[in-house]
Amino acid sequence: MEPSTHHPEATTKHSTSALSNLETKPSPDAVLPAVRLRVGLFYTCLVDMMRPEIGFATVRLLEDAGCQVEVPVGQTCCGQPGFNAGELAITRDLALQWLQSFEMYDYVVVPSGSCAGMIRKHYPALFRHDPDLNIRIQRLSDRTWELSSFLVEVCGMQKPPGRFQGAITYHDACSGLRELGVQHQPRQLLQSMPGLELKEMQDSRACCGFGGTFAVKYGAISAAIADEKIAQIKQSGASCVVMGDLGCMLHLEGRLRRCGDQQTRVTHLAEVLAGDSQALASEPKLTRGED
Return the CATH number at 232: 3.40.50.11810
Question: Same domain for 150 and 36?
Answer: yes
Residues 112 and 168 in one domain: no
Q: Choose between 165 and 288: higher pLDDT.
A: 165
Query: Residue 285 falls within a domain, yes or no?
Result: no
Q: Which domain holds residue 62?
A: 16-154
**pLDDT > 60? residue 46:** yes
The mean pLDDT of 172-184, rounded to a whole number, is 93
Q: Give Cβ neighbours of residue 72 (< 8 Å, ≥ 6 apart).
A: 4, 7, 40, 101, 102
Same-domain check for residues 28 and 149? yes
Instruction: Please enumerate in sequence order all residues whose Cβ is within 8 A of that of 68, keeping only pairs 6 or more positions apart, or say none.
Output: 1, 2, 36, 37, 38, 39
| Residue 128: partners with Cβ closer than 8 Å, 6 or more residues away | 134
Overall number of domains in the chain:
2
Give the least confident one: 2-11, 105-114, 150-159, 231-240. 2-11
Percent of the chain with pLDDT over 70: 83
Average pLDDT of the segment spanning 37-48: 96
Looking at 137, 154, 171, the residue that finishes a domain is 154
264 Cβ contact list (under 8 Å, min separation 6): 230, 233, 234, 239, 240, 241, 256
* Residue 26 resides in a domain: yes
Residues 197 and 70 in one domain: no
pLDDT over 90 percentage in the chain: 74
- Asked if the structure places residue 233 within a domain, the reply is yes
> Nearest-CA neighbor of 46 among 185, 205, 250, 271?
250
Dmax over CA atoms of the chain, in Å, equals 54
pLDDT of residue 210: 86
Residue where one domain finishes, among candidates 154, 176, 202: 154
Residue 273 has a pLDDT of 96
Q: How many other β-carbons are positioned within 10 Å of the β-carbon of residue 99?
A: 17
Q: What is the pLDDT of residue 281?
A: 42
Of 132 and 21, the structure prediction assigns the larger pLDDT to 132
Say how far apart CA 269 and CA 285 lie, in whole Å.
15
Residue 39: pLDDT band by 50, 70, 90 thresholds? very high
